[in-house]
């Protein structure tokens, strides 16, 4: 059972929605924002929105307290949808994630990857080497992990104009359903 969440990519589209949902349950969330230089205004807006919650704390990857990964019931969510939008050239920050993943030792915890479905399609013959390396590490350490593939990585949650209001509402309901399913399946007792 999830008792605490660490979300890498907390200001990415799905990571942000997941963070909101977990905070609504009253659990603590430690967030790490990826790609500091990318769309700073959106990240800042999201930071202001969830930063008001006393159960949320943010840190940079290089300053992250690795001891949090040893607390019982900690779930590590890694939103890589934006990094793998173009599966041919993922962000260089992937290598920096190795230290965090290698230090994950939470009893009753799991590692959950949020990935774009395009990655699954593009790697049908040969999996992405960084992901395979990480999956092998987790298997070796006998750490349960799950993969969730999302149909798009570029959904935005702001309404652009009146004609897009209904479309945005439907998209938001779909995203909420996806995030609810991720939380439910991630918290399932089996692997």
User: For the segment 114-145, what is each residue's pLDDT rounded down to a tens digit?
Assistant: 888 877 765 555 667 888 889 999 999 999 99
Query: Structural domain tally of the chain?
Result: 1
* 191 within domain boundaries: no
Domain of 66: which CATH number?
Answer: 3.40.50.720
* 155 within domain boundaries: yes
**Of residues 141, 137, 9, 20, the one with CA closest to residue 82:** 9
**Of residues 13, 8, 17, the one with CA closest to residue 177:** 17
Predicted structure pTM score: 0.83
Tokens, residue 190: 């089996």
Higher pLDDT, 181 or 53: 53
- Please state which of the ranges 12-16, 41-45, 93-97 shows the lowest mean pLDDT: 93-97
Give the domain range for residue 177: 4-186
pLDDT per residue as tens digits for the range 73-94: 999 999 988 777 655 555 566 7
């Amino acid at each position: 059972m999830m008792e605490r969440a660490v979300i890498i990519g907390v200001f990415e589209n799905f990571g942000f929605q997941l963070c909101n949902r977990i905070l609504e349950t009253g659990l603590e969330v430690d967030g790490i924002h990826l790609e500091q230089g990318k769309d700073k205004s959106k990240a800042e807006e999201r930071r202001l929105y969830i930063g008001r919650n006393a159960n949320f704390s943010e840190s940079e990857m290089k300053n992250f307290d690795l001891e949090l990964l040893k607390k019982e019931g900690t779930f590590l969510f890694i939103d890589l949808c934006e990094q793998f939008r173009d599966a041919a050239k993922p962000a260089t920050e992937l290598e920096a994630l190795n230290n965090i993943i290698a230090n994950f030792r939470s009893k009753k915890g799991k590692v959950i990857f949020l990935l774009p479905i395009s990655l699954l399609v593009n790697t049908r013959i040969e999996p992405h080497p960084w992901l395979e390396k990480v999956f092998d590490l987790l298997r070796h350490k006998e750490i349960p992990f799950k993969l969730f593939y999302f149909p798009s990585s570029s959904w935005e949650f702001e309404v652009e104009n009146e004609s897009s209001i209904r479309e945005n509402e439907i998209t938001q309901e779909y995203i909420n359903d996806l995030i609810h399913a991720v939380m439910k399946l991630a918290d399932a007792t089996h692997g």
